[in-house]
């Protein structure tokens, strides 16, 4: 009995602790991804700019809307070499420039934990994942580039999941009965966290879904802005599958080869603004533990996500004149299309 336990424990502790690469092989993978990401920084910039142009004009229906200050600075550049989408004619009339593209901004870290709320089966293939969840409209524009070629990658499945406005994942409404009064762990690797809420509602799928990248390497979702829960900075989870099997009968899928596991974050100023909006104000821990700031994220996930200079923080823009009208958030993930990860840091 005891030897078996001992053999298992170090593995569990190993993944729950700091999520840095530890073996020489993992370090090597990180080094080459980092180098490739720097190399791709310019391509990522062009890619994001083209997507912003497309999204701005699609969402707003027109340009020159005086209330849309965020996009105003963006219109002044040669068209970019990205394959034109269906609305190409409309979009080509006002090229835009993003003056804020920074070195390797938006390229996501290699691998951080998938956390305890992933469902290996049952995530629907769909773009609108909001279902009946009340909250701030959030349009996600997620680009995928291959770090080996710096080219956008069409037709890979981007799978995402996030907590609702009051901090619950679909299927996991309550703590385990014997843990209802649990307090966050103090110190240790799980400092600040509660035990994961068990999955008790098997039919719930809100704020979970997957959609393949289009021919420009972009996957877009309609969602609500995520809420927060004990110990974790506000975040969205993702996995990227170059191979998957669709179950036509129920529109779900089974993932095949896994090219990426990651988490995305938001700047604290937007988190702060959302905190004050209904129904985010109804978060049960709002007046007790409150929202965990990015820099205090448990398990070092926020910091680890920045390893090697990667920046997994969305670039956000308001869809209208005020935040309540919605937010569009952009991120680009650099993935290695020839790699197949066994999700090293599952935890």
Residues 329 and 141 sit within 8 Å (Cβ to Cβ): yes
Question: What is the distance, to the nearest Å, from the Cα of residue 220 to the centroid of all Cα atoms in its chain?
Answer: 12
Query: Min. distance of Cβ 61 from ligand NAG in angstroms?
Result: 29
CB of 121 to ligand NAG, least distance (A): 6
3-state secondary structure of 14: helix
* DSSP-derived pairing of the beta strands 208-212 and 157-161: antiparallel
Using the rule CB under 6 A, which residue among 76, 87, 134, 267 binds ligand NAG? 134
For residue 71 the two structure tokens come to: 């996009």
Cβ nearer to ligand NAG, comparing 18 with 257: 257
Token pair 């920046």: residue? 311
The C-alpha atoms of residue 142 and residue 330 are separated, in whole angstroms, by: 6
Q: Which two tokens stand for residue 327?
A: 């937010």
Q: Which DSSP symbol is given to 309? A: G
Give the whole-angstrom CA distance, residue 38 versus residue 145.
13
Beta carbons of 262 and 118 less than 8 angstroms apart: no
Whichever of 193 and 337 has its CB closer to ligand NAG, that residue is 337
Closer to ligand NAG at the Cβ: 58 or 306?
306
Which one-letter DSSP state was computed for residue 89?
H
CA dist., res. 49 & res. 97, Å (int): 6
- Candidates 51-59, 90-98, 160-168, 189-197: pick the segment binding ligand NAG (CB under 6 A): 160-168
Instruction: Output the smallest distance, CB 122 to ligand NAG, in A.
Output: 4
Task: Name which position in 105, 133, 234, 292 contacts ligand NAG (CB under 6 A).
Answer: 133
Q: Which span (54-62, 165-173, 294-302, 311-319) binds ligand NAG, by CB under 6 A?
A: 165-173
Residues 273-312 that bind ligand NAG (CB under 6 A): 279
The window from 75-83, 158-166, 233-241, 263-271 that contacts ligand NAG (CB under 6 A) reads 158-166
- Residues 8-67 interacting with ligand NAG (rule: CB under 6 A): 32-33, 36, 38, 41
Provide the mask over 217-256, with x wherever binding to ligand NAG is found by CB under 6 A and - wherever it is not.
------------------------------x-xx-x----
Of 168 and 315, the one with the shorter C-beta distance to ligand NAG is 168
Whether omega for the bond prior to residue 200 falls within 30 degrees of 0, making it cis, is no
For residue 156, the SS3 value is: coil
Nearer to ligand NAG, 36 or 145 (CB): 36
3-state secondary structure of 137: strand
| Most distant pair of Cα atoms in the chain: their distance | 71
Closest CB to ligand NAG among residues 67, 100 = 100
Distance, in Å, from the CA atom of 100 to the CA atom of 52, rounded to the nearest integer, reads 12
Residues binding ligand NAG (CB under 6 A) = 32-33, 36, 38, 41, 103, 121-122, 133-134, 147-148, 164-166, 168, 173, 247, 249-250, 252, 279, 336, 338-339
């Amino acid at each position: 009995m005891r030897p078996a336990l001992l053999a298992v424990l170090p593995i569990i502790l190993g993944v729950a602790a700091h999520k840095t690469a530890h073996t020489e092989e993992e370090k090597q993978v990180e080094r080459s991804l980092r180098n490739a990401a720097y190399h791709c920084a310019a391509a990522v910039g062009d890619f994001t700019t083209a997507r912003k142009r497309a999204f701005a004009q699609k969402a707003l229906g027109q340009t020159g809307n005086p209330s849309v200050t965020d996009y105003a600075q963006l219109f002044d550049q040669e068209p970019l070499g990205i394959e034109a989408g269906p609305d190409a004619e409309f979009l080509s009339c006002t090229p835009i420039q993003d003056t804020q593209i920074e070195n390797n901004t938006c390229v996501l870290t290699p691998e951080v934990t998938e956390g305890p709320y992933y469902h290996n089966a049952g995530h629907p293939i769909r773009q609108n994942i909001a279902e009946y969840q009340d909250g701030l409209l959030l349009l996600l524009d997620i680009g995928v580039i291959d770090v080996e070629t710096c080219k956008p990658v069409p037709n890979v499945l981007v799978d995402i999941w996030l907590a609702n406005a009051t901090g619950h994942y679909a299927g996991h409404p309550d703590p385990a009965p014997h843990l209802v009064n649990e307090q966050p762990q103090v110190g240790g690797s799980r400092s600040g966290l509660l035990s994961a809420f068990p999955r008790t509602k098997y039919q719930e799928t809100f704020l979970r879904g997957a959609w393949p990248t289009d021919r420009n390497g972009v996957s877009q979702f309609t969602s609500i802005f995520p809420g927060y829960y004990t110990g974790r900075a506000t975040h969205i989870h993702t996995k990227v599958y170059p191979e998957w099997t669709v179950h036509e009968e129920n529109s779900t899928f089974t993932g095949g080869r896994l090219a990426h596991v990651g988490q995305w974050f938001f700047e604290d100023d937007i988190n702060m603004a959302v905190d004050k909006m209904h129904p985010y104000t109804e978060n049960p821990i709002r007046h007790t533990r409150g929202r965990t700031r990015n820099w205090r994220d448990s398990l070092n996930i926020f910091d680890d996500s920045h390893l090697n200079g990667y920046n997994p923080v969305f670039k956000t823009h308001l869809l209208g004149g005020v935040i309540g009208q919605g937010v569009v958030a952009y991120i680009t993930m650099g993935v290695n299309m020839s790699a197949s990860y066994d999700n090293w840091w599952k935890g």
